[in-house]
Structure formats: structure tokens, C-alpha cells
Chains A and B, each alone.
Chain A
């Protein structure tokens, strides 16, 4: 049996003994334990080293507020979680955990010398160091800090678990299943609405689990709890959610809940998700989130064994574990007495109660006296000692608030502290509810809500069991009263920081245990001029650790308020942000992982490409065949072959991802006139035109070929990635600026499969299959479009070319895409038809100087910058972006213009994105005049080709510029963008 167990106490199951390992040492605990309670039962208090000074640390709490006891929870490869609070890990057979932030081990930690050199690590150390010479930072400070500071190491393997997510609705969502929450649930579910009662702990009951001696409605608290849960379980409209943390409270009563499903199991079923994120829209939220006890700030208050009084009470009453044999109590609040009495009744020696207050309720003193406990009032703990655990404390008396000399030493192995209670207003604050300072409680309390919210119980500053139950019931909609036993008293005083007789510059009194922030740091921040509590927080990092200051924010605020010499309500409070407790990325991600990370859009030809060994690339949400390697070809070899085949005979390309919008109506042409730079009125039915779309700011936003099928019907194509954006922009203008235009816009991207045939044999291939369209050069010239049939399938046939070769784009209803592709592919064998992917498509278009919007443009390129002034309808009075083209900055010289770039060494293929300079010999940092936008090896031309945006590029035609790269500086000559067939003769090959 564990030395520190008290048989007969607690809710654990001694008949189910569990073995577990911590730092490779095997211990035993019971079912129902947490890792923390089981370690304490074994007398283990030293469980980690602190963040900055590497000081030995133990448990400060017993729940999710824990700031110190962060461990690495190891559930096997791919299942290691760093920085988990040992107080929230449920024990199971074979559990493995490790201490962290220490080397070589937790008892002998080399970096603990940080503590001795702490004069070098004051508040703002990191900020100040940044201002020192950069070389110091790179070479000295950063590596040192990285080695020494930090939390547990991040996992190195992919997460093996999977996660779930779901949406839900309810009339009332209750956060927290303590007495207030349960009373609210009983009342609310009586009325019939859907009720969700969520609590972060494995057992519902909250504070009731720690006070078995309380009496509710004439029965022991645990009996009342069991009866109440039985009633709630039986109600179909109630959903009880243990192990579920309400992590955030968002707009319009939308709450995020994370339910932990498998972390407590030794070998969970593989199909079970580890956690589930519930997104719940609630009619009303009842917040019954309780309160967290506040530590006292005194010298060396961080030794293992020094913990919150309520935590010790929980360890005893809930887990049957005592935190020591000889326990001292240091308090400014009545509630610590209850913990002391419970421990005393469990045969723990109470070394002393040291109370900061002058006046203590008589009833408490009497009870202490009955148990033979020595109470010293107006007294203060001025120091502690003990290397790996507290061994003794120094106690001084005070007179009129001033510490008197003559410290008395008290031997002890644990110290329970209580500085009062901090209501957990986090969720209320997430929802933008206003907080108000309450002097009675010494804390901020909920004031005006911003949502349909009710706060009940301790989180609302309501204490006393019957008060709490009745407030809960009222929030649930009934006015019932409760008869309960009441604690002896519930008052306390708030001490900003505990008075001391010591030299304050030489002691460390911790405020934020997780980030190692002392009261000295906060005072220093104020001395250095920080007045806003938000700035003090960032400068000292108080409250910025993974516990978000649950035990430290109020103490820090009070110390700052005193140092600033301004009332606390004028200093304000830092903002609470979700999540309430650390949340796994997995839970946030849910199902959106791996293949489900985002939608993969596939064309009707996609499977054929996969069967034919295509290498794919993502383009927007689409996956597109990038190239089709044969016999182990690398990409360049495949692209060389594909482009040669297309230029010399016939290439086939899946262009189905092109965005397509059908624009129909009597005002269709007028609408296009207003949207696109080009004129559309005179475009005849059966003809196409390249369209350029600008934003209202005058910059190129999209492009594509637009075919006029009839006077009132246009088939618009957009870039693959731009389709939704373009449709949204068109809808916006149509609906809100020109609602009188009689036009309809329909997205038809997914409705048409598009097979592009390019090469001198393209016409010969399709001619036999086409009905109703005369394909002769004269009847069906370049930039023609006709509706007809191919292989008996209705088609919109475009004669367009993005390669510079004779080209056709065959649109057929999407479900015929693959069948047509295979028919053409088979028939194309006579021409050695070659499928090509996006890479070859890019090379072919770059040889022709065709731009890719978003690659050769970047949202700051005008038509003139791109050398495309020809696309602007000069006679049009207006179109989107036209007025901006006359803005001074857009007509000024010195703009970057699109040019061709030809390396001196034709073998060099420049890197896309590489910067360009005019003078290779200038000192670093060089003056950059542009950058490479597109760059490829052109097998057709037997050299590299590139396009670039260069300042005043067109005026530099024929001159050399330089592209400095780490290994060497490349020389390149500026030229035109069209490198292949500038006359366009290839388009009309017969």
C-alpha cells in the first residue's frame, strides 16, 4: 500500500491496483487516481523543472489549473504529448509519463544554474536582448536560450491518432457540473428543452467531490450527487458530457467543446477517435465554471510540497491521499482551515496555521483548538527551504502590517496556501461579457452579458452551498430552495503581495509559476514605465504560459495596481482568449487530416491519367496531371518529349479545370463590356476573343477566352484557380451596381469536360468524328466557336490555342469526358498522339509569351505593365478598373514591366522568383529592379527561356541584367516575351 494513502477515504478503487511508470520508475496507484494523486500517494512531489530558472517544482493544484506539474505523456510511438498537466491524466495500467525540461534528470539539472545567474534573466530579458547587436543574438543568446528554456520537446512523429468533430444544438448548455451546474440541469431539463451538461473532469460533481461531509437536503453530498445524476441520466432530453471541456464561447451562443475519448484507456480500439470537437449552438449558456484558489506570493513559494489548500483537500477527500505527514498552512482566507481540519481528521499533523489576518472567525479558532492546531494570526511566512521539497518555513509576526524581526522556524513537509478565490470568468469573457471588480470577493465578476448567458455559483462570486444550488436552479428556470450544511465561514482578505522583512531584491516570490514570473519582475516592468496591464503582461510574460495565468493573473494585477498606485478597477484586466485549457491540434483539425485535409477536385479524365502513370500537382483544389513519364523518365525528359510531340504532331491535354461561366440574357454583351477591358458588342456569334479582367484598382485579376455562342449567350472561361472569385465579382457588380441589366450568370465549370488538342495534326484527328461543324480553315478559323456533335456527343468546339500550334478545345458534357478522351486517344495513335500535363502546357505557353495570371502577375500588374494594352477597348467609356488606369501611380514611369529574359549561358534555367539587379558589382544589400516570374528549359528552342517583371523593362530591351544566386551571378539579356513563331504561322497549319 502507498504510504500516503488513507484507506476508506476518497473515491478511488483500492481493489483495482494499477502499475504505472514515471521517469522510468514503476509505481502503483488505484483506479480513479490521476497521475498526480498516484504520485503523491507514493510520496513523489518533485515532478519537473521550471521554465526559466529550472527550479524544482511539484504540484500546485489538483485540476486543470495546474501550473507546475507538466509532464510528457507517452502513449507509445506517435502518441507522445508534451506539457500535459499530471493533475488531469487519468491513471491506467501501464501508463508511462516523464518529467521534462531537465537534463540529465529532474533531481540533478544542469540548467538550474540559471537560478543562480537569475540577475541576467529579469523581466523583459528577451525583449532587451533583441536590441543588442545581431551577431550576439545569432551566435550567443539564441542558441543558449533554445537549449535551456522551453517546455517539453515537440513530438517528432506524425500523430497516430485520429479525431472527430460534430455539430449540435440545445436549448441550454451548462458548463461545469458542480453543485450549481447540476442544480441548473435538474431545473432546466424538467422544463423539457434539450440540456447539455459538460464538465472537464471524468466524474461529474465538481467541488462536491471534494467535500463528502457536506449535507444537501438531509443527505450526504455524494448521495445527493448520485441521486441527481441518476435523475439526469434517466431524462432523454439531457446529455451528460464528462471529460468534456468547454474551450471557447463564441458569437451568438456558439460554444466549442472538446471531449476526450481514449486518453484514459490503455489500449483503445483503433477505430475510436482520440478526441471529438463538438460545436454547439445553444439557446442559452449557463456558466457554472466555479472558482480557482489563489496562491500567496512570498519568498520561495514554489518549492515542491507547497500547494493550494483546496488541492490538498481534494487529494484527501477525492483520492484518499494525504500530501504530507506534517503540514503547515499559510492563508488569508477561511477556506484553508477546512482543508487543515480535514487533514487533521485524517491523522495528519498540522504543524501550524499561519494567518495573515488580524481577525479570524471565532468558530474557526475554536475548531482548530479542538484539534490541538496552533493558529498564529497577523503572521507571515517569510521564507522556505528544502532542496527538492519544502522542509521548513520561516514565520514572522506582523504589527500594523509591518513584519517584526525574530523569525520562528517551523518544520513541515508540505505547505497549504490560500489567498482567496478567483472566479473562473474565462468563458464569460470569451463571449465579450463585461466584467466588474468586486471588492468583497477581491476579483472581477461577470457584469453585463453580451450573449444569452447566465453565470451561477462561484464563477459569479456566489459562495455557500445553498446559495450556489439555488442560483443554479434559478438559471435552470425554477425557484426551488435547498437546505444544506454550510461551511464555518467563507471570508478572507486579499494581500497584494505578502509583506516580508527580507531584502526584496534578493528573494524570489513567484506569481506565475509556469513562466517563472516573480513579483519583482512585475514591479520592474512598472518601474520601466509600463502602465497598461496588457503591456505588463507581455513584458513580464505573466499569464502567457499554457495555463493562461489561471492561478496568477489576479495576483499579478494586484501587484501591478499597487506599484502603479492606481485602484485595480482602473488598471483593468488582461483579455481571456480561447481555448480555456490547452487543446490538441488534432481536436481542432478533426477529420480534416491527410486525404481529407481539403477537397480534391478531379476531372472526368483524372482516372485515365492515374492509370497512365501521370504525376499530379495541386492547382487550386484540383489535382492536375503535371506530366506523363514513360520508362522511368524524369520530369524534364518527359516534358521535352511531350512538347516536341505537340509541336511536331499532336498532343492531348485535359483542360477541364478551366473555370467556365455561362452569361446569358439580352444585356449579356453590355455586361461583358462593363466587366472586361475588351469590347464585346461587335464580336459576332461563333467567334471568340481573349478577355482581360481587372479589379477596380486597375490590376489584372483574371483572363480567359470568351466565346459568343449567340447574340445573348457567352461561354466565358477563367483561370483554373480564379473561377469562384470571378463569378463572385460578376455577381457583385450585377446584383448591386447594375441590377437593371437583364443577365444571368451560371457556373458551368463542372458541367463541361474540356479536351485540348494541339499540334499540326489536330484537325486531321477530329475531322472524322465531328458532325455539323465545317472545320475548314475558312469556315472555322482561329478563335472560332461552334456547337455541334463529336462522336455523337453534343459539343461546344473552340478553335483556340494556348500552345501556339493549331488547337481545338472540345467541350462535352462532363460525364462523356473520359469516353471521348479514350476514343480520340485510340484514333490518335496514327499521329503518335501524346498526352501532356501542366508542365508542358506551361513551357508551350511561355515560348509564346502567354501570361499566367497569378504567376506572371501578382495583383500589382496593369495591362500596360504586362504589355497587353492591345486588350483594352479604347472607345469604351467605362469598364471595371478603367478609371484606375489613369491614376498617377499607374501612369508614372518606373513601373515593373513584363519582359523576356535570355541567359547568356543558354543552359542556365533561372529560378522563378529570383531577384534581378542592374549592377552586379554593387555592395550588398543590392538594389533590386525586378524578379523572374516564369522560367523553363525550352527543348524546342534548345535553350532556357524566362519572363520577368523588370522596372522600366521594355526600355532596357537588349541590355544585360544580372541575377545573383548563392553559387554564382547569372547574366541575362532582356528581350521580347514571344520566343517561338512570333508571326503565328503555326496556328493555320493545314
Chain B
């Protein structure tokens, strides 16, 4: 069970308090109607599935209920850092699992 630092609570808490919420830094298009089918499918379905560094979202479900971002190495399962939603994508240490 991972220990995850909630950037809002500023505390390291056990994984059971959190829920995973998919890949990070995939913004919903401002006007989906402007996207063709292929572009919309890309937004809707296509994910990095990284082997290595992965930018992902977590929600501190049973804590402050805030969504935030994390950098995790999917090979070692180590969380390198967490940061608030809306903050810029940070540089990660280690081999990138694909940069999208």
C-alpha cells in the first residue's frame, strides 16, 4: 500500500484514503464540437500506458476530496512527487514512459 502525499493536506497518507483517477494533463477540449471524430477519439480513449515515468491523477477521496497530480514510475511503483491540479507539469527523474 503506497504512501501518498496530498499536496492540499500536505501530509503523507496511506493509499486507502485515495482513489486513482487516470492519466494527468489531458485537458478537456474547450469546444468538443470543433474536433473531428479522430481527434475526439484520441482525447477520449488514447492513453500513454507508460512503462516508466507516468503523470497521473489521484483524488484524496477520504480526506480533503481534492484531485491532484502525481509523478509515478510504473516500473518501480515509486511516487516521485505530487502537485496541485493546475500546476505545470514538472520534470521527472528517470526514463520517460512516453511524453504526450
CB-defined contacts of A697 to chain B, threshold 8 Å: 44
Chain A 701-738 interface mask (CB, 8 Å, partner B; 1/0): 00000000000000000000000000010011001110
Query: Given A736-B57, A883-B33, do A731 and B65 touch, yes or no (CB 8 Å)?
Result: yes
B86 interface contact, C-beta 8 A? yes
Please tell me if the beta carbons of A732 and B67 are within 8 angstroms of each other in the complex: yes
Answer whether residue A580 sits at the interface, using C-beta atoms and an 8 A cutoff: no
B32: nearest residue on chain A (CB-CB)? A883
21 of the cross-chain contacts (CB-CB < 8 Å) are A251-B15, A252-B3, A254-B1, A279-B1, A281-B14, A696-B44, A697-B44, A728-B61, A731-B59, A731-B65, A735-B66, A735-B67, A736-B86, A737-B27, A737-B28, A877-B31, A878-B32, A882-B32, A882-B33, A883-B33, A888-B37
**Are B78 and A450 touching (Cβ within 8 A)?**
yes
Is A826 on the interface with B (CB-CB < 8 A)? no
**Is A616 close to B, CB under 8 A?**
no
**Any chain A CB within 8 A of the CB of B46?**
no
B40 partner, pick from A450, A736, A883, beta carbons under 8 A: A883
A165 to chain B, nearest CB (A): 13
B1-41 to A contact mask, C-beta < 8 Å, 1/0: 11100000000001100010100000110011101010011
Tell me if B77 and A432 are in contact (CB < 8 A).
yes
Contacts of A739 in B (CB 8 A): 85-86
Please indicate the chain B residues that have their CB under 8 angstroms from the CB of A883 in the complex. 32-33, 35, 40
Give the complex CA separation of A731 and B41 in angstroms: 24
- Name the CB-closest residue of A to B33: A883
Contact residue among B31, B44, B66 (Cβ-Cβ distance under 8 Å from A884): B44
CB distance from A604 to the nearest CB of B (A): 24
The distance in angstroms between the C-alpha atoms of A887 and B42, with both chains bound, is 12
Q: Could you give, for residues 55-73 of chain B, a 1 whenever the CB lies within 8 Å of some chain A CB and a 0 otherwise?
A: 0010101000111000000
**A250 within 8 Å of B (CB atoms):** yes
- B59 touching A728, Cβ below 8 Å: yes
Smallest CB separation, B39 vs chain A (Å): 10
Partner of B67, one of A254, A279, A736, A886: A736
Tell whether A735 pairs with B2 under 8 Å between CB atoms, given A728-B59, A883-B32: no
Closest 5 pairs between A and B when the two form their complex, measured CB to CB: A883-B32, A252-B3, A251-B2, A254-B1, A735-B67
Q: Which residues of A contact B85 (CB under 8 A)?
A: 735-736, 739
Contact check: which of B3, B31, B37, B65 meets A887 at CB < 8 Å? B37
Q: Which of B32, B35, B41, B67 has the most CB of A within 10 A?
A: B32
User: Closest chain A residue to B79 by CB distance?
Assistant: A252
Residues 714-770 of A contacting B (Cβ, < 8 Å): 728, 731-732, 735-737, 739
| B78 cross-chain contacts in A, Cβ below 8 A | 450
Q: How far is the CA of A146 from the CA of B41 in the complex (A)?
A: 48
Smallest beta-carbon distance A663→chain B, Å: 15
Is A887 within 8 A of B40, CB to CB? yes
Return the chain B residue nearest A254 by Cβ: B1
A254 to B12, CA, bound (A): 14
CA distance A254 to B4 in the complex (A): 13
CB-CB < 8 A to A882: which residues of B?
32-33
Q: Which residue of A lies closest to B34 (CB)?
A: A883
Shortest CB–CB separation between residue A783 and chain B, in angstroms?
30
How distant is the Cα of A878 from the Cα of B21 in the complex, in angstroms?
23
Most buried by B among A279, A736, A886: A736
Chain B residues closer than 8 Å to A281, beta-carbon distance: 3, 14
* Chain A residue at minimal CB-CB distance from B40: A883
Q: A728-B59, A877-B33 are in contact. List 5 more A-B contacts (CB 8 A).
A: A251-B77, A732-B59, A882-B32, A886-B37, A887-B40
User: In the complex, which residues 464-482 of chain A have their Cβ closer than 8 Å to any Cβ of chain B?
Assistant: none
Residues of A close to B57: CB separation below 8 A: 736
CB contacts (< 8 Å) of B76 on chain A: these are: 432, 450
Per the bound structure, the CA–CA distance linking A251 and B21 in Å amounts to: 19
Bound: A447/B21 CA distance, A: 34
* Contact of A731 with B40 in the complex, beta carbons under 8 Å: no
A697 to B40, CA, bound (A): 10
Closest residue on chain A to residue B15 by CB atoms:
A251
The residue in chain A whose Cβ has the minimal distance to the Cβ of B31 is A878
Chain B residues with Cβ below 8 Å from A735 are 66-67, 85
Contact across chains for B40 and A884 when beta carbons are under 8 A apart: yes
Chain B hits for A731, CB < 8 A: 59, 65, 67
Q: Which residue of A lies closest to B24 (CB)?
A: A736
Contact with B along A439-470 (1 / 0, CB 8 A): 00000000000100000000000000000000
Give the docked Cα–Cα distance between A704 and B94 (Å). 47
Nearest to A739 among chain B residues (CB) is B86
Residue from B1, B19, B21, B31 whose CB has the most chain A CB atoms within 10 Å: B1
CB-nearest residue of chain A relative to B66? A735
B57 to chain A, nearest CB (A): 7
Determine how close the nearest CB of chain A comes to the CB of B5; give it in whole angstroms: 11
Give the CA-CA distance A250 to B1 in the complex, in Å: 6
Min C-beta distance of B89 to chain A, whole Å: 14
Q: In the complex, A697 Cα to B45 Cα: how many Å?
A: 9
- Residues from chain B with Cβ under 8 Å of A250 in the complex: 1
- In the bound complex, how far is the Cα of B99 from the Cα of A150, in angstroms? 49
* A731, closest chain B residue (CB): B65
CB-CB under 8 A from B33, the residues of chain A are 877-878, 882-883
Contact B41 A887 (CB under 8 A): yes
Q: A696–B40 Cα gap in the complex (Å)? A: 10
Chain A residues near B31: list those with CB within 8 A: 877-878
* Complex Cα spacing A737 to B25, Å: 11
In the assembled complex, which residues on chain A have CB atoms less than 8 Å from the CB atom of B32? 878, 882-883
- A452 and B9 CA atoms in complex are apart in Å by 25
Q: How far is the CB of B69 from chain A (nearest CB, A)?
A: 9
Among A732, A884, A888, point to the contact of B21 (Cβ < 8 A).
A732
Contacts of A737 in B (CB 8 A): 27-28
Question: Given the complex, which residues of B lie within 8 Å of A888, measured CB to CB?
Answer: 37
Distance of A432 Cα from B75 Cα, bound (Å):
9
Q: How far apart are B48's CB and chain A's nearest CB, in angstroms?
A: 18
User: Using Cβ atoms and an 8 Å threshold, which residues of chain B touch A887?
Assistant: 37, 40-41
Residues from chain B with a CB closer than 8 A to the CB of A251 are 1-3, 15, 77
Nearest Cβ in chain B — how far from A750, in angstroms?
15
Nearest Cβ distance between residue A698 and chain B, in whole angstroms?
Answer: 9
Query: What is the distance, in angstroms, from B41's C-beta to the closest C-beta of chain A?
Result: 7
Contacts of B37 in A (CB 8 A): 886-888
Whether A252 touches B2, Cβ cut-off 8 Å, given contacts A736-B57, A882-B32, is yes
Measured in the bound complex, the distance between the Cα atoms of B59 and A732 in whole Å is 9
- Nearest residue in B to A877 (C-beta to C-beta)? B33
Q: Which residue of chain B has its CB nearest to the CB of A881?
A: B32
CB distance from A108 to the nearest CB of B (A): 50
Q: A736: which B residues are within 8 A, CB to CB? A: 57, 67, 85-86
Report A527 CB to chain B, min CB distance, Å.
33
Q: How far is the CB of A575 from chain B (nearest CB, A)?
A: 14
Q: Of residues 486 to 515 in A, which have CB atoms within 8 Å of B's CB atoms?
A: none
Bound-state Cα–Cα, A432 to B57, Å: 23
Q: Decide: B40 and A252 in contact? CB cutoff 8 A.
A: no
- The residues of B that contact A728 with a CB separation of less than 8 Å are 19, 59, 61
> Chain A's nearest CB lies how many Å from the CB of B82?
14
Q: Which of chain A's residues have a CB closer than 8 A to the CB of B77?
A: 251, 432
* List of A residues within 8 angstroms of B35 by Cβ: 883
Contacts of B21 in A (CB 8 A): 732
Cα separation A699 to B6 with both chains bound (whole Å): 32
Query: B27 contacts which chain A residues (CB < 8 A)?
Result: 737
Q: Which residue of A lies closest to B35 (CB)?
A: A883
Q: A737–B1 Cα gap in the complex (Å)?
A: 29
Within the complex, what minimum Cβ distance (angstroms) separates A462 from chain B?
26
Distance, CA A349 to CA B16, complexed state (A): 60
Chain A positions 685 through 701: 1 when the CB is less than 8 Å from some CB of chain B, otherwise 0:
00000000000110000
Q: Which residue of A lies closest to B61 (CB)?
A: A728
Q: How distant is A792 from chain B, measured CB to nearest CB, in Å? A: 35
A167 to chain B, nearest CB (A): 9
